[in-house]
Chain A
Amino acid sequence: MAVEKFEQLTSTAVPLPIENVDTDQIIPARFLKATTREGFGDNLFRDWRYDKNDQPIADFVLNNPIYSGEILVGGKNFGCGSSREHAAWAVGGAGFKVVISSFFADIFKGNALNNGILPITVSEDFLVKIFSGIEADPKATFKVDLENQELTISATGDKTSFDINGYKKECLLNGYDDIDYLLNIKDKIEAFELAR
């Protein structure tokens, strides 16, 4: 299953200035009973978003109509904990194509990339600028340019570059996934097995 191509995106962003957001918060375990990848977006941040009677918690950011967009901005160490890829499916399912943080947990980062979601790591200072920008104007937009590996705060023109390895960048730009690559080198894998 190839992933959706990603080149550029200009969007408003949803701020979640909480540190150590673990994947149990992103998608609680009781919602992992599905056998398909679809439908997880509805339960993204379920227990922060809804109370025990399934009523929306008004002050949670995803329930606040002034915030919207395809970019989610999280605090340091975003996506720690369980390796559940359901967390990436939930983020993607809720319409996010980019997640920005000053620090990502390794497994979440990999899972996001494998689902065509771009995790962008910025400096702590730049993260503060983004949060301040959204606080000043919830309709503030951000431009993500994958080709040039640049993130721009549209209102101020403040720019930062971000890292992504060349291979993964090519995958996202072209909509390739890792399995395509591995299947193409299957002869080599079999030769490796024989040589051991």
Chain B
Amino acid sequence: MSFLINKVLTKLYRAVIFSIFRKLDLSFSNLTTCIFLKFKSNLTVAGKTLFDKIWDAHVVQEIPDGPSVLYIDRHLIHEVTSPQAFNGLGRRGLKVMRPNQTVATPDHNVPTINQDKPIEDELSRFQVDTLTENCNKYGIDLYGLNTDYQGVVHVMGPQLGVTQPGMTIVCGDSHTSTHGAFGCIAFGIGTSEVEMVLATQCIMQPKPKKMRINVNGQLKPNVSPKDVILYIISKMTAAGGTGYFVEYSGNVFREMSMEGRMTVCNMSIEMGARGGLISPDIKTFEFVEGKKYSPKGDDFKKAVAKWSELYTDADAVFDREVDFDASDIEPMITFGTNPGMGVKITGKIPELSSIVGSEQPSFQKSMNYMGFQAGDTMIGKPVDYVFIGSCTNGRIEDLRVVADYVKGKQKAENVTAWIVPGSKEVERQAIAEGIVDVLEEAGFKMRQPGCSACLAMNDDKIPAGKYAVSTSNRNFEGRQGPGARTMLASPLTAAAVAVAGKVVDPRTVLETA
């Protein structure tokens, strides 16, 4: 008991000192109020969430009735959302404050064939060249086209060890939430914010609310991390997480590989959440160890000791808590034009009558776009393209799943199947493991790393009216090309669909074989 009291008192003492340091610029009355509030909050709220621990350690200043000034550990940049930020920096005559905390790669707008040749599209080439020029000018590490580590920024970052537990990570891309898989506060930002981080290594952020999503129980065979997150989003809706930062908790996430956790955290934004994170564990530390930017030797051991404290305290309180039963999750597919419009692959599109009246026009618009009817069965739906890649599912584990499935099979004649590795390293691994041979023998087209048909900025577009089953993250109208119709699914489902030439449940092949 006395130990506990001591612990609380130490905590209080630290809190008071901390407050004094942080609030030195405030008036005396504010200072005393702040100490009092800190004192009070420590008496009433004991535990901290993982999110709070990381957030609180990065607050440089809190603005009364405003956002917090949050310190950023790592800033990832790419060619599409950074040029205007560098322009702004130039206009103000500023330097990049911490170039060694900034890492760049071109990914959104690069071709996925002939990367050794100059980019044909003039605007794309100029954008990629501008990134190179800016990185050279400001001394930023750039992993350019045809270099060993180039890739989709959220695949590349973890592979280089840029991503480490406990960090704040931002990038001008909403799927920055991917890095939350390592126990980071990672989120997407706009270009004005990219400029802020370049100039000051800080960002202004209102503190989001906290949600915990617990998934416990036994997943059925052949249910993948992608199915887990598509299931969660289908239950939460595309806006259900807005205003929140999500912690994923439960045995299902503990048992997932780091690749699986990245897939889950990646799609947090698709339910509107600012980001998602998972407490780091031995798998996280093993993944980070030995990477280019990771701490080495004793520094690594010290880091692991620090990272081991990154968990939600047992008595911490969330603003919202949601539970799902793992055994209810099955392979998922989307049928509409936002990622919340998903069903079990054996399921049906909801009837119009089951949709809230005010949402019916948007639902009907979505059905018209997809060429589907309310109440339709998803199994058997036509498919013209299969896209396997993106920051959601372009990692080696995803390619292994696809290769295992298609080995000895042939893709259907009516389907064009593109495989786009998430990075040069994934590409190397896939070649070394014989995955590329298997996929090419099965009739898949192996491309070079980039965001590709996930957002169709380059020439990798699904033609208007055609159906694609895609392992990416968004099924918005026109996302994969003007008029393209997207169904989101896991790599396993995408592989099965590519072979069958229509929407199928991968389990009917695997579990009856």
Contact B272 A77 (CB under 8 A): yes
* B-contacting residues, A30-48, CB 8 Å: 30, 32-37, 47
Contact B190 A110 (CB under 8 A): yes
Contact B243 A106 (CB under 8 A): yes
Distance A9 CA – B29 CA, assembled complex (angstroms): 38
A58: interface (CB < 8 Å): no
Contact A183 B61 (CB under 8 A): no
Contact A1 B88 (CB under 8 A): yes
Q: Residue of A at shortest CB range from B195?
A: A179
List of A residues within 8 angstroms of B88 by Cβ: 1, 179
* B-contacting residues, A84-119, CB 8 Å: 84-86, 88, 103, 105-107, 110-111, 114-115
Contact A24 B362 (CB under 8 A): no
Contact A88 B478 (CB under 8 A): no
Q: Residue of B at shortest CB range from A103?
A: B239
Nearest CB on A from B490, distance (A): 21
What are 29 A-B residue pairs whose CB atoms fall within 8 Å in the complex? A24-B477, A29-B456, A29-B457, A29-B479, A32-B457, A33-B80, A33-B123, A33-B124, A35-B84, A35-B130, A36-B84, A37-B84, A37-B87, A47-B482, A84-B81, A103-B242, A105-B239, A105-B242, A107-B174, A107-B188, A110-B189, A111-B190, A167-B63, A167-B65, A178-B193, A179-B192, A188-B60, A189-B200, A192-B71
B365: interface (CB < 8 Å): yes
B178: interface (CB < 8 Å): no
Contact B202 A189 (CB under 8 A): yes
One of A20, A33, A115, A192 near B127 (C-beta < 8 A): A33
List of B residues within 8 angstroms of A35 by Cβ: 83-84, 87, 126-127, 130
List of B residues within 8 angstroms of A166 by Cβ: 64-66
Distance A181 CA – B204 CA, assembled complex (angstroms): 9
Distance A85 CA – B455 CA, assembled complex (angstroms): 16
One of B25, B199, B337, B478 near A28 (C-beta < 8 A): B478
Contact B81 A182 (CB under 8 A): no
Task: Contacts A35-B127, A80-B238, A110-B193 known; list 5 others, CB within 8 Å.
Answer: A1-B92, A19-B359, A36-B84, A106-B274, A179-B195
A55: interface (CB < 8 Å): no
Known: A85-B190, A105-B242, A167-B63. Contact between A1 and B91, CB under 8 A? Answer: yes
Contact A81 B123 (CB under 8 A): no
* A-contacting residues, B43-90, CB 8 Å: 60-61, 63-67, 69, 71, 80-81, 83-84, 87-88
Distance A181 CA – B121 CA, assembled complex (angstroms): 39
Nearest CB on B from A117, distance (A): 12
List of A residues within 8 angstroms of B274 by Cβ: 106-107
* A-contacting residues, B394-428, CB 8 Å: none
List of B residues within 8 angstroms of A183 by Cβ: 94, 199-200
Nearest CB on B from A174, distance (A): 14
Distance A107 CA – B272 CA, assembled complex (angstroms): 9
Nearest CB on A from B98, distance (A): 8
Contact flags (1/0) for B243-278 with A, using CB distance below 8 Å? 100000000000000000000000001001010000
List of B residues within 8 angstroms of A177 by Cβ: 192
B172: interface (CB < 8 Å): yes
Q: Residue of B at shortest CB range from A25?
A: B477
Distance A38 CA – B307 CA, assembled complex (angstroms): 44
Contact A24 B478 (CB under 8 A): yes
A82: interface (CB < 8 Å): yes
One of B21, B189, B477 near A47 (C-beta < 8 A): B477
Nearest CB on B from A79, distance (A): 10
Can you list the 10 inter-chain pairs with the closest CB atoms, starting with the nearest? A167-B66, A166-B65, A85-B190, A83-B188, A35-B83, A33-B123, A111-B190, A114-B192, A83-B174, A77-B239
B476: interface (CB < 8 Å): yes
* B-contacting residues, A140-186, CB 8 Å: 165-168, 177-179, 181-183, 185-186
List of A residues within 8 angstroms of B121 by Cβ: 33
* A-contacting residues, B218-233, CB 8 Å: none
Contact A81 B174 (CB under 8 A): yes
Contact B204 A193 (CB under 8 A): no
Distance A183 CA – B88 CA, assembled complex (angstroms): 13
List of B residues within 8 angstroms of A106 by Cβ: 208, 242-243, 272, 274
Q: Residue of B at shortest CB range from A87?
A: B190
Distance A139 CA – B2 CA, assembled complex (angstroms): 72
A75: interface (CB < 8 Å): yes
Contact flags (1/0) for A45-71 with B, using CB distance below 8 Å? 001000010000000000000000000
Contact A167 B127 (CB under 8 A): no
Nearest CB on A from B271, distance (A): 10
Nearest CB on A from B185, distance (A): 14
One of A1, A33, A83 near B189 (C-beta < 8 A): A83
B474: interface (CB < 8 Å): yes
List of A residues within 8 angstroms of B191 by Cβ: 37, 85-86, 111
List of A residues within 8 angstroms of B123 by Cβ: 33-34
Distance A20 CA – B359 CA, assembled complex (angstroms): 10
One of B174, B196, B358 near A82 (C-beta < 8 A): B174
A22: interface (CB < 8 Å): yes
